[in-house]
Chain A
């Protein structure tokens, strides 16, 4: 099973969506700054969730899946 490690803290998740949920739940600068390095904005990801659907989390999960998978 794939494991996804948060690049900013010790959180490990088996699902990139779950890790995205963790990520956007953090309000510290470390997590927000990491998003900036990937060309993402915390505020924009969050506010994209205002409408029905899961756009913000889907976008971040896609990035996290590529960037943070450690092992199968």
Chain B
């Protein structure tokens, strides 16, 4: 029998009914009394100096209440990299020049969206066109136009990681190979577009913003910097959010412009991006040129790895500098790498900026490393599972000065996959292939580029006289199930039911700071904070019960099933509800409140804990058309103690869907900086009916840092999907690729080229 009453039990989402009945309110749905609608005028040029802006015609249009340009803004620059102020490079509206097609130059507030849109068309901007740069390899050349004047060679950020003696290790290697990859982008494509409502109260000087954001706290800080306001005078409320997938971490033009327009008009202002704006002007996965060199012994033991990455950063920083660091880190996972060197360069280009998307650096990095290790295994005559087993990280593995892996279930995951693949995929049809990719991912990041003085997560628990509980947390549920996990943890600690708890989520005025939903951090970090807050209350209740029992301190008490009782004699105890009443009444009415917080300490530079696993993909390739059919997927995943198996399964399925999109069909091609497919008609996603069967094996470990031993369970399986598929395609028809997005025309071309060149297995 499980030691837990609630943890580990499949639990439907606490907000599930509201969502499926349409009662859940998203920012997109909200209307405030006296509200105006805002629209943005965006640059049609990738790089141009603003000569003049004439707003007079727009201002004359009936129904228009305000028109603003850069000169109407407080002039503060903002961005997520607040610790390095030069990287906080965004403006509310461009003041001197525009840096990508879609850079906002003016904004309008009107009584309707239609009028606001008409007014935007009446604004006349005179531009002086500047030479533009679109490719990162061009951007770093000495004669390239500068996107930001202060950044030589358009180098926005660099990372160098090195341990061991790389050059000596390569000399000792029996086998060395180099591969180069061009990894394309992917849009987060959330169902709900970026949406914000800002309401400024001129009397108090306070601003309230409702926004579709992944982090109310990041948005509060971004607004404070942009508007030059005290952060305490800004309240951010996150209603239900229709997906983020990494694209809603930055403070974007919807919220800041709604705020400025509200300050000017004294009325609430709502800005909602249309789908074209969402695709063309919001953050997407960072594209990169990646070179990777590995040195191995004849038996497949990895001796050295060297990696160079140049990312196409676009016009601003966002979280792209973190992606650069993480890509260079994930590419060492999940293998023991005794000698490693990484150089990463993030370049500015005149395109919409690239940032984090589900998998945060790992998806592109592992596409390269997990296809390369298959190629090496092929050359050395080693089984692809065996080479992964030989180099797999084990508990306690440490990369000097970078990270330490405490719990690690990778080897059991490999054993499980090997066994299941032998059973399930013993016989393959013609042109079918199996491919594997191993993976690891963080359970929240140990990064403080936002420069917060607060704990990374905080939570408050208040117990009422009737035993009901108010749980206050700023953790962001963006559809991934954090609200449910939060309530489950609180209920488990207090020994009560989920129905006893009322959740007050994601409001900066009523909750303690939490860094938000990115890097799969909420379960571990917010979970630890809630657990600590609930424990504080629980200890108070247990003290009261102990007094009433008259037992001395050596007798442990449990709180479970709405009772508090002696652990060794469960029949001796009291109702939870009675103890709550006694605790409040007998202590002069002192409220039963607990506060908890969590910040990782002494856990290296990356994450406090790592999920691990391996995936197998079976695919069939049509040699006549190049069409790839993903038949089924088997994945073994160590995500520690699972809090909610229903939620964890959903996250794995969603990650695989997104990984398949990265591997097969999602891309944002552009011409001279213009996105060519900004709609769901032209941007191809993997749909439900195209999803393969997924067999999931949970191989849990206990991680001492996670609540109940829990780790990441939201993003990890995005990364192995595309490389496992690419390896399956190679094993099916003998063609391999140095890029993702394996559309049928690309696959067919490779098959034809291979046939023309004669026999043999591709380029390995």
Question: Which residues of A are in contact with B by a Cβ distance under 8 Å?
Answer: 17, 21, 24-25, 27-28, 32, 41-43, 46-47, 49-54, 57
Contacts and interface: CB of A to CB of B under 8 A. Distances in A.
Contact of A43 (B84, B155, B157): B155
Sorting the interface of chain B by its residue count into under 10, 10 to 19, 20 to 34 or 35 or more gives 20 to 34
B755 interface: no
Interface string B331-356: 00000000001010100000000000
A49 B157 CA distance: 14
Contacts of A25: 158-160
A48 B158 CA distance: 12
B343 A50 contact: yes
B140 A47 contact: yes
A57 B160 contact: yes
Interface string B279-304: 00000000000010100000000000
Contacts of A24: 158, 160
B308 A50 contact: yes
Given A24-B158, A28-B86, A50 B345 contact: yes
A41 B291 CA distance: 24
Contact of A52 (B86, B153, B293): B293
Contacts of A51: 308
22 contacts: A17-B162, A21-B160, A24-B160, A25-B158, A25-B159, A27-B157, A43-B142, A43-B152, A46-B153, A46-B155, A47-B155, A47-B345, A49-B160, A50-B308, A50-B310, A50-B343, A52-B293, A52-B308, A53-B167, A54-B341, A57-B160, A57-B162
A45 to B, nearest CB: 10
Contact of B343 (A27, A41, A49): A49
Interface of B: 84, 86-87, 140, 142, 152-153, 155, 157-160, 162, 166-167, 178, 291, 293, 306, 308, 310, 341, 343, 345
B162 A46 contact: no
Contacts of A52: 178, 291, 293, 306, 308
Given A24-B160, A25-B158, A54 B167 contact: yes
B291 A27 contact: no
Contacts of B84: 27
Nearest to B293: A52
Nearest to B161: A21
Nearest to B154: A43
Contacts of B343: 49-50
B181 to A, nearest CB: 14
A69 B204 CA distance: 57
B519 to A, nearest CB: 21
A56 to B, nearest CB: 8
A3 B339 CA distance: 24
A54 B84 CA distance: 26
8 closest A-B pairs (Cβ-Cβ)?
A43-B153, A43-B152, A49-B343, A21-B160, A47-B140, A52-B306, A46-B158, A52-B293
Nearest to B137: A50
B153 A47 contact: yes
Contacts of B166: 54
Contacts of A21: 160, 162
Contact of B86 (A27, A47, A53, A54): A27
A45 B716 CA distance: 35
Pick from B86, B158, B293, B308 the residue with the most CB of A within 10 Å: B158
A64 to B, nearest CB: 14
A52 B162 CA distance: 13
Contacts of B142: 43
B1 to A, nearest CB: 53
A50 B310 CA distance: 8
Nearest to A42: B152
A42 B291 CA distance: 22
Contact of B308 (A17, A41, A49, A57): A49
A49 B158 CA distance: 10
Nearest to B309: A50
Nearest to A56: B343
Contacts of A41: 152
Given A27-B86, A43-B140, A47-B153, 6 more contacts: A17-B162, A21-B162, A46-B153, A49-B343, A52-B306, A57-B160
A3 B162 CA distance: 20
A53 to B, nearest CB: 8
Contacts of A43: 140, 142, 152-153, 155
Contacts of A27: 84, 86-87, 157
Contacts of A28: 86
A11 B167 CA distance: 26
B325 to A, nearest CB: 11
A25 to B, nearest CB: 7
Nearest to B289: A50
Nearest to B142: A43
